[in-house]
Amino acid sequence: MGRVLVAFGSSEGQTATIAERIGDTLEDAGHDVVVVHAKHPPAELDPGRYDGVIVGASIHMGSHQSYVESFVDKHSEALNRVPSAFFSVSLTAAHPDPDDREPAQEILEAFLEETGWEPDTTLLVAGALKYSGYGLLKRVVMRRIAGKAGGDTDTARDYEYTDWDELEAFIDAFRALLPDAPEQS
């Protein structure tokens, strides 16, 4: 089985949760997986030494984390040489209507254009509203944004919108790109 790097950026924790799930799923399939936060990757990290790389970032205020963009910029040559995938996490991705998800898709495409990275597969992933982790001001702002979008506004609880089955299909598609990929069950 192959060596896989999963690098991510996370502001509120959902992207980290998703990256860990990806890592666990790939490990369960027999791959040797390293999961790293792209803000503080090990100095010796070389994505070109892996058989495949998945990068994930979340959208906040209309863009992905700048440190994830820097990570991809720095390693774009290596990322374009190996099987690679990108997942972009946002609340916008939770909309059932594809037209309502279009802004998130445009941000994803702009990220790839700016970095010169051409991953083999991409996925918009619905994130989470973690009201319990927000300060008062952010909780009020997020409640207002969620309300305007027809989302959940009860700030006494958190809401997770991630479609784990869709994520599993994304992981399977990525696994099929790896050298000596096992047959999908």
Separation between Cα atoms, residue 152 and residue 176, nearest integer Å: 36
Closest CA to 77 of 56, 100, 53, 96: 53
Q: What pLDDT is stored for residue 181 in this prediction?
A: 55
Q: What pLDDT is stored for residue 179 in this prediction?
A: 85
Residue intervals of the chain classified under CATH 3.40.50.360 are 3-127+162-175
Q: What pLDDT is stored for residue 7 in this prediction?
A: 98
Q: What pLDDT is stored for residue 88 in this prediction?
A: 98
| pLDDT tens-place string over residues 48-58 | 999 999 999 99
pTM: 0.91
| pLDDT tens-place string over residues 34-46 | 999 999 999 999 9
Separation between Cα atoms, residue 59 and residue 157, nearest integer Å: 22
User: What is the CATH superfamily name and number for domain 3-127+162-175?
Assistant: Flavodoxin domain (3.40.50.360)
Work out the pLDDT band at 168, boundaries 50, 70, 90. Answer: very high
What residues does 56 pair with on adjacent strands? Answer: 8, 87
Separation between Cα atoms, residue 159 and residue 36, nearest integer Å: 25
Q: What pLDDT is stored for residue 15 in this prediction?
A: 97
Tokens of 171: 């992981």
Q: What pLDDT is stored for residue 125 in this prediction?
A: 97
User: Residue 68 in contact with residue 36, Cβ under 8 Å?
Assistant: no
| pLDDT tens-place string over residues 68-116 | 999 999 999 999 999 999 999 998 998 888 998 999 999 999 999 999 9
Percent of the chain with pLDDT over 70: 97
Is residue 184 predicted with pLDDT exceeding 90? no
Secondary structure class of 40 (helix, strand, coil) = coil
Q: What pLDDT is stored for residue 183 in this prediction?
A: 53
